[in-house]
Structure 1
Amino acid sequence: MIGRLKGILSEKQPPEILVDINGVGYEVTLPMSCFYELPPVGETITVLTHFVVREDAQLLFGFNTKIERALFRELIKTNGVGPKLALGIMSGMTADQFIHHIGEGNISALIKLPGVGKKTAERLIIEMRDRLKNFTGYDLFNPAPDSVTQSDVIQGAMNEAMAALQALGYKPNTAEQAIKKVAQPGRNAEQLIRDALRNMV
């Protein structure tokens, strides 16, 4: 099982990155809360991973801390919650918010997350309430300072941001509206995604 990768960050396209280790590139999918903290392309990074083997694919999911990875593993233990939905949850809400809403049984807050309907929200509350007690106090949504904008072409950043939201499970119209609300000249895709997700919670 692959539990950690250390190498050069060769590419990053929300929500995926490519880590080069001695000439071998590993594709890793991250929640946006982790993606915000990535250094510029070309720098060395260490990513904690969860390895998933399916009949049609072998997938790596990456995290910056053990707590993030532990929460992801607790999420996918829940009936009806797969890795994609778990990433969407971790991208759209802080850990403290998620734990609070689970503890309070706040279905209305949970159904705002991509892919979470009423039945899924109820399952999350029922199955995770006790298991999440040890996670109280940890905030997984800790964006790094805004990175330097790589392009002044706002439309390109908007398209990239909308594609990332759709990859997290948001409908195209919802993603487009959310990005348009936060779009400003000189902002890159990561900044647009971060603010759009905050507004949708």
Structure 2
Amino acid sequence: MIGRLRGTLIHKQPPWLVVDVHGVGYELEAPMSTFYDLPEVGRDVALFTHHAQKEDSVSLYGFLTEPERRLFRDVQKVSGIGAKIALAVLSGTSVNQFASLVQTGDVAALTKIPGIGKKTAERMVVELRDRAADFVGGATLAGGTAVPADPLSEATIALQQLGYKPAEAQKMAQAAASDGDPPETIIRKALQSALR
């Protein structure tokens, strides 16, 4: 089982990134909470990982902090929730914000995360409330972002991959974008607006 990787970040395009570790390129799927704080391509990065093996696939997920990984794992213990929704949770809220929503039982805010309906949100509150305090804490391992060629398009595509419909994703990205914003900033602002 792979628990942590340290190497050179050689590719990043939400939700995928590739880390070169001594000549082996590990492809990982990561939430936007991790993408926000990734270093520039070509720089060293250290990631906590979650290795998932199913009958027909093997997946590797990357997180900059241990609390993110813990939340990713705990959310999937709720019946009906898989990796895709767990990534959407971390892409739409911070660990602290999610813990607060669960502790206060804010079902309405939780349903604004793509893929989470009212019944799923209610199950999250019931099943995770006792563990919510354990989600918080930890520090980021790396920082800095690169500004890609077309941030608005990248942000729109990433929002679609998080479960938003194309027209909705484009509208959200356009409303959130400011001149000079990298895609990570546009996505963060769009998701924060969606939660209001």
- The answer to whether the superposition gives a TM-score over 0.5 is yes
In structure 2, the residue matched to 1:25 is 25
Among 166, 169, 172, the residue aligned to 2:160: 166
Which residue is 2:97 aligned to? 97
| Structure 2 CA distance for aligned equivalents of residues 186 and 82 of structure 1 | 35
Contact 2:67 2:138 in 1 (8 A): no
Is the 8 Å Cα contact of residues 10 and 41 (structure 2) preserved in structure 1? yes
Q: Distance in 2 between matches of 1:139 and 1:165?
A: 26
Determine if contact 1:96/1:139 at 8 Å carries over to the other structure. no
- Counterpart residue identity of residue 84, structure 1: K
**Other structure's SS at 2:180 match:** coil
After TM superposition, list the pairs within 5 Å mapping 1:171-182 onto structure 2.
Answer: 171-182=165-176
1:44 deviates by: 1.1
1:131 aligned residue? 131
Q: Are 1:157 and 1:187, in contact at CA under 8 Å, matched by a contact in 2? A: yes
Q: CA deviation at 1:48?
A: 0.6
Q: C-alpha root-mean-square deviation of aligned residues, in Å? A: 2.1
Q: Which runs of 5+ in 2 are unaligned?
A: none
Deviation per CA, 1:114-172: give whole Å up to 9, x if none: 1010111011011111122323x54889x956x45343xxxx32121111111112222
Partner of 2:2: 2
Q: State the alpha-carbon separation in 2 of the partners of residues 41 and 71 from structure 1.
A: 26
Measured in 2, the distance between the counterparts of 1:163 and 1:119 equals: 28
Return the alpha-carbon distance in structure 2 between the equivalents of residues 198 and 150 of structure 1: 22
Contact 1:95 1:139 in 2 (8 A): no
Q: Is the 8 A contact 1:5 1:49 kept in 2?
A: yes
Tell me what 1:149 maps to.
147
Question: Aligned with 1:12: secondary structure?
Answer: strand
Change over 3 Å in CA distance of 1:139–1:125 after alignment to 2: farther
The aligned counterpart of 2:60 is 60
1:158–1:179 CA contact under 8 A, matched in 2: yes
1:36 counterpart residue number: 36
Report Cα offsets for 1:41-72 as digits up to 9, x if no partner: 00111111000001221101111111111111
Shift of 1:8: 0.8
The aligned amino acid for 1:170 is Y
Q: Counterparts of 1:37 and 1:112 in 2: how far apart (Å)?
A: 23
Q: Which runs of 5+ in 1 are unaligned?
A: none
TM-score, normalisation: structure 1: 0.89
User: Size of the alignment, in residue pairs?
Assistant: 195
1:183 corresponds to: 177
CA distance in 1, matches of 2:164, 2:6: 31
Question: In structure 2, what residue type is equivalent to 1:5?
Answer: L
Q: What is the deviation of 1:188?
A: 2.2
Q: Where in structure 1 do 4 or more consecutive aligned residues deviate above 2 Å?
A: 137-141, 147-151, 183-188
Contact 1:95 1:140 in 2 (8 A): no
Residues 150 and 105 from structure 1, CA distance in 2 versus in 1: closer, same or farther, beyond 3 angstroms? closer
Would you say 1:200 and 2:194 are equivalent positions? yes
